[in-house]
């Protein structure tokens, strides 16, 4: 039992602690991927297989990790990715994560299907945040969400384009999170799992309410549970969306526009033509189409296609500051951190997120120093060892 009191240090440590603290159905929702989870695994291993080239006897007494993401300063080149159902992992988790991101000095992105609302996040501080949007069949709520985001001070919209249909996540099917099982089986399995985790039950289940998609409450009729909202949002996902719809979105959104879910040079060029200020090379963390390439492998091809025309970020598989260094070496301007921040908030709350982000920044500094680079904006392929 003594190991439970050890302070977590790495993403893997926070993941293990989150697994202990969360009911199984919630941990699997967070941790799992689509189908056989091949892409989920390869996103991580592809980063691990990239080797850094140690270069010593350089003056690395002054290391600068600061950068700008869409003209906004960041203490290191990362932002917290949008995560659905975050507030089910810890009490008002999105609020806790926003506070931690503000303290560290990087952007926080609120998901359309977050538990906390746009207005709740805006009340945390006067520091701006980003808002992530799915295109809905009913364009009325889309327009209203964008206006609410603007009213809350949001200047950067992250539009996710790889969710025209839902990929099957078999862990969710087995746990009754997908709606495939009967209602009694779903409720029975989830209640038992929650009862086996009394700390979560008290902190989140009883004291973390309301358990609804906060920003969507006004649009979902007669809804009181996450299941109601999940059903509504699934029905609202628009499989007919094309680049023309992005042009429409661009016409009504005056702020910065980030297109998230790009995995090919062709789509990257289309995103730029549609008016994107930045794009995210992403496969949705391996949660959509299983068997596609890891994002870090596709990043150089996207960079070659559109470098100089839009900022290029990458997500899916980023688990450390070393991974951030590798991404920048291959041409990324920044990274999105997804599962790691949710592991941390589930394990240790706001303080866990803050400490994990400090760890990422420290790991990045060490990677820079021992590869002979003092400015994060100057990271190039020269820090990668391709000789082996």
Q: Which residues are catalytic?
A: 284
Per DSSP, helices labelled H in the chain are 11-21, 24-31, 38-49, 93-104, 118-122, 139-151, 170-175, 183-195, 198-200, 226-236, 243-252, 265-273, 295-306, 321-329, 339-370
| DSSP assigned state of 196 | T
Going by the DSSP 8-state scheme, the letter that residue 336 receives in this structure is: E
- What burial letters (b/e) apply to 315-352, b meaning 16+ CB within 10 Å? bbbbbbbbbbbbbbbbbbbbbbbbbbbbbbbbbbbbeb
3-state secondary structure of 211: coil
Any idea which residue has 């869409």 for tokens?
Answer: 70
Task: Give the burial class of 100: count Cβ atoms within 10 A of its Cβ; 0-12 exposed, 13-18 middle, 19 or more buried.
Answer: buried
Whole-number Å distance between alpha carbons of 333 and 304: 13
From CA 18, how far away is CA 342, in angstroms rounded? 9
d(CA 136, CA 220): 13
Structure tokens of 382?
């020269």
């Amino acid at each position: 039992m003594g190991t439970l009191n050890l302070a977590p240090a790495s993403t893997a440590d926070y993941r293990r602690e989150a697994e202990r603290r969360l009911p199984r159905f919630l941990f699997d929702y967070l941790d799992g991927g689509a189908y056989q989870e091949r892409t989920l695994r390869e996103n991580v291993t592809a980063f691990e297989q990239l080797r850094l080239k140690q270069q010593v006897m350089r003056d690395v007494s002054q290391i600068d990790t600061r950068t700008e993401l869409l003209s906004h300063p960041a203490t290191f080149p990362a932002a917290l990715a949008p995560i659905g159902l975050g507030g089910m992992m810890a009490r008002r988790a999105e609020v806790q994560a926003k506070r931690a991101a503000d303290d560290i000095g990087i952007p926080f992105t609120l998901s359309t299907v977050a538990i906390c609302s746009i207005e709740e996040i805006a009340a945390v501080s006067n520091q701006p945040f980003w808002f992530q949007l799915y295109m809905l069949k009913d364009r009325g709520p889309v327009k209203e969400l964008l206006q609410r985001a603007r009213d809350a001070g949001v200047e950067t919209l992250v539009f996710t384009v790889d969710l025209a249909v839902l990929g099957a996540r078999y862990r969710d099917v087995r746990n009754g999170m997908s709606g495939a099982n009967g209602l009694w089986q779903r409720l029975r399995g989830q209640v038992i799992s929650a009862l086996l985790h009394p700390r979560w039950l008290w902190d989140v289940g009883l004291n973390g309410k309301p358990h609804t998609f906060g920003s969507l409450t006004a649009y979902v009729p007669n809804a009181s549970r996450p299941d109601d909202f999940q059903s509504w949002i699934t029905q609202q996902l628009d499989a007919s969306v094309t680049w023309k719809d992005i042009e429409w979105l661009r016409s009504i959104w005056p702020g910065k526009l980030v297109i998230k879910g790009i995995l090919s040079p062709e789509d990257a060029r289309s995103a730029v033509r549609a008016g994107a200020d930045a794009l995210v090379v992403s496969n949705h963390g391996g949660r959509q189409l299983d068997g596609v390439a890891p994002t870090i492998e596709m990043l150089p091809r996207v960079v070659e296609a559109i470098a100089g025309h839009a900022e290029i970020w990458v997500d899916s598989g980023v688990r450390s500051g070393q991974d951030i260094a590798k991404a920048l070496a291959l041409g990324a301007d920044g990274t999105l951190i997804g599962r790691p921040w949710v592991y941390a908030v589930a394990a240790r709350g706001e303080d866990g997120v803050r400490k994990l982000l400090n760890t990422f920044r420290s790991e990045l500094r060490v990677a820079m120093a021992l590869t002979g680079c003092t400015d994060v904006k100057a990271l190039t392929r020269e820090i990668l060892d391709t000789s082996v």
